Amino acid sequence: MLPEQNESYVGIDVSQDFLDIHVVPEERSCRVANDEVGLAALMDLLRPLRVNCVVLEATGKLEGAAAAALSDANVPVAVVNPRQVRDFARATGQLAKTDAIDARIIALFGRAVAIEPRPVKDEDARQISDLLARRRQITRMIAEEKNRLPRASGRARSDIKAHIQWLEKRLKRVDAELDADIKKSPVWREQDALFQSIKGVGPVLSRTLIAGLPEIQSLSRRALAKLVGVAPLNCDSGRMRGRRRIWGGRAHVRVALYMAVVSASQWNPVVKAYYEKLIASGKPRKVALVACMRKLLNILRAVVRSGVPWEARPVS
């Protein structure tokens, strides 16, 4: 059993079948099965510890059950970007890769950067997140089939048309399920109404924020922009002053925000005025749109924090 220590960081490498666990600074390791029995064993192993944070990599939903179980047990947990962990491993000269090594690197990464616990989606939020992911997949398939249609003929063309019709029916069904899920929760209904009171914000962005950006009420404007990936990052060295670029963040939230801004830059008076001001000052269109994404994100944050539906006025 792992000994009791203060300020422990726990790294867990998640695979289909196993959870490899490493604790620092104690340098103790163990492995449990990635199932209900293994999760119960994990809780028993962690119970004697004073855990600062349990760190897991985002691994295509394999980490979901473990993260949810830890969160439900009030164990501080954070799911981090695997690219950051791999970059940390390279920086420390650790090029070898096994499950046990990865668990140790994750724990060391958590301690080195002082990872703080992050909110984990509850089961209902995960269901909406999965439906939104499925919606994106269906939308992408419809676009791909429509691109194939002009080059097809005969029976192939008929088959593509039939497939598009079937996909569109599935899309309507997913949208109906998302509507039903939002209506089940009074909190989500209120948030959805607040978000959609903003001109240019539709159900897709609203649902994406509810399921994919629960931190929108708690973070500062700058932290929120970095989390979504719309904060301009410096690229300077010595006398060189490089062009600022956006990087990282939650891509699915950023894409939904971009699509909303394309509409808001035409119909939302605040965003439109800001966009036109930037264009008039000589900013490239893409730069202006990214700036408007930050503006709209700030409006969304202000609305949900105040609980008051949006009115067309500047947001400080």
Quote the percentage of the chain above a pLDDT of 70: 90
In this structure, are 193 and 298 located in the same domain? yes
In this structure, are 22 and 38 located in the same domain? yes
* Alpha carbon distance 161, 39 (integer Å): 47
State the CATH number of the domain containing residue 91: 3.30.420.10
Out of 83, 112, 141, pick the residue that ends a domain: 112
Whether the pTM exceeds 0.75: the reply is no
Does the pLDDT of residue 314 top 70, yes or no? no
Q: What is the predicted pLDDT for the residue at 248?
A: 66
As a whole number, mean pLDDT of residues 233-262 equals 72
Q: What is the predicted pLDDT for the residue at 4?
A: 42
* 190 occurs within a structural domain: yes
Q: 88 lies in which domain range? A: 8-112
Q: What is the pLDDT of residues 83-114, one digit of tens each?
A: 889 989 999 888 888 988 999 999 999 999 88
In this structure, are 232 and 149 located in the same domain? no
In this structure, are 175 and 298 located in the same domain? no
Instruction: Indicate the pLDDT class of residue 239, thresholds 50, 70 and 90.
Output: low
Tokens of 168: 């569109």
Residue 80, helix vs strand vs coil: strand
In this structure, are 83 and 152 located in the same domain? no
Does the pLDDT of residue 176 top 90, yes or no? yes
In this structure, are 170 and 257 located in the same domain? no
In this structure, are 89 and 167 located in the same domain? no
In this structure, are 156 and 190 located in the same domain? no
* 119 occurs within a structural domain: no
Q: Which residue has the higher pLDDT, 8 or 246?
A: 8
Give the E-state strand segments of the chain in sequence order.
Answer: 8-14, 18-24, 28-33, 51-57, 77-80, 236-237, 240-241
Q: What is the predicted pLDDT for the residue at 236?
A: 52
In this structure, are 212 and 300 located in the same domain? yes
- Tally of domains in the chain: 3
Q: What is the pLDDT of residues 277-302, one digit of tens each?
A: 999 999 989 889 999 999 999 999 99
Q: What is the predicted pLDDT for the residue at 194?
A: 92
Instruction: Indicate the pLDDT class of residue 3, thresholds 50, 70 and 90.
Output: very low
As a whole number, mean pLDDT of residues 207-230 equals 87
* 222 occurs within a structural domain: yes
Helix (H) or strand (E) run with residue 20 in it: strand 18-24
* 118 occurs within a structural domain: no
In this structure, are 297 and 267 located in the same domain? yes
* 3 occurs within a structural domain: no
In this structure, are 189 and 299 located in the same domain? yes
Instruction: Indicate the pLDDT class of residue 185, thresholds 50, 70 and 90.
Output: confident
In this structure, are 23 and 102 located in the same domain? yes
Bridge partners of residue 144, in order along the sequence: none
